[in-house]
Amino acid sequence: MGDRARWGVRIAVLAGGALALFLIYSLRVLVLLILFAFILAYVLDPPVTRLARIVGGRGRGIACVALALVLILVGAVAALGPRVTSEFRWAAATLPGKAAQTYEAMVPRLQALAGIQIPATLPEAARELWGLRGGWAPWLTERTQGLLAGAASSVVGLVTTVLDLLIVPAFWIFFLQEGPAVKARLLLRLPGARRAWAERVVAGMDEALRGFLRGQATVCAVVAVLLGVGLALIGMKLAIVMAVASGLATFIPYFGPLLSAITAVLLAILEFGDVSHGLLVAAVYAAVYTLEVFVITPRIIGHRIGLHPLVVMVVVLAAGQLLGIWGIMFAVPAAAVLRVLIPEVWTLLIPLTSASPPPRGYPGERDG
């Protein structure tokens, strides 16, 4: 391959990658919804495959898994619903008053510390903060006019949201029903050496992604149970709500646990009216997440994704800047897949951009 051809390959690869990134960013909401459906189907593919052999068809296996998910959801709502509802009712009835009392008790200290005049009550502070000294009427009028002006766009937005929500189950069923057949057909279209390379890459990505998703789901569940027990022993009213929310937040590396811990500490201070209970809650979170970092995650996930913690942090920050909360949620599994994919693609491209002959067994080598 001549120099011009090699440079042409490099430019084509760079242009294709840039175009793909531009399209993904432009359609990021749709792409992320489809990605969520794919991950859900990916995680549930093994039980669907096993059930399909038992019940005599992949469609029936999907129906059984969907029914099981509905039953699990209904059971969870029946078991935890009353307690969670009572916790939310208590929070709605109690926390606003406790927040006002806590603020009024802190006003003298804040004034002495800052040396400035601070509103004496929480509603006055809210009016100062939002610039509502003239009363609520101007603010309500402005917001009402804005709502009326954007009514048409709101209707369009509502329809779009409904369609977006329908995308997830539709693609979930499609990926479960057609995914294995599509993968098999694509692999069969490749000649021998390339097929072996593609199967190796798919197997590596499959191992990395499945290992991370299953392991992380187990870690989130264990963290939720431990936090629930710890917060209940302290006597926190919102123990279940905060335990479930914190367990789900564990899926977001570093930032999820930090935000959930800060929220729990603030709620504890409001509920009990003293800093000591806030410190107890902070100690529970510190103990559980220390256990998660040094014991739970290494034992359950281990080094399956093969990424340094600093790399994980940079990936999460970059994905959050580009794609928001969706990017933060999918950053680590995407990085785990790319860790397998990029070296393989790089190995594939080296012979195309090098004057040296390709190694024996290289995917681009002719079979036979």
Q: What is the dihedral of CA 78, 84, 85, 87, to 10 degrees?
A: 160
Pairwise CA distance, residues 325 & 300, whole Å? 25
Q: What percent of the chain has pLDDT over 90?
A: 12
Confidence of residue 151 (pLDDT cuts 50, 70, 90): very low
pTM for this model (two decimals): 0.65
Cα-trace Rg, the chain: 27
Please tell me which residue, 299 or 57, carries the higher pLDDT value.
57
Neighbour-count burial of 249, counting CB atoms closer than 10 A to its CB (0-12 exposed, 13-18 middle, 19+ buried): buried
Confidence of residue 154 (pLDDT cuts 50, 70, 90): low
pLDDT of residue 264: 93
For 201-219, how does the pLDDT look when each residue is reduced to its tens digit (9 = 90+)? 888 888 777 777 788 888 8
Count of residues making up the chain = 368
Average pLDDT of the chain is 77
Pairwise CA distance, residues 301 & 305, whole Å? 8
For 310-360, how does the pLDDT look when each residue is reduced to its tens digit (9 = 90+)? 777 777 778 777 777 767 777 777 777 777 777 777 776 665 555 555 555
Pairwise CA distance, residues 148 & 154, whole Å? 10
Confidence of residue 129 (pLDDT cuts 50, 70, 90): low
In the structure encoding, which two tokens stand for residue 63, read together?
């129906």
pLDDT of residue 202: 80
pLDDT of residue 92: 80
Pairwise CA distance, residues 57 & 43, whole Å? 19
- Spell out where the chain has E strands: none
For 249-284, how does the pLDDT look when each residue is reduced to its tens digit (9 = 90+)? 888 777 888 999 999 998 898 888 888 999 999 999
pLDDT of residue 351: 58
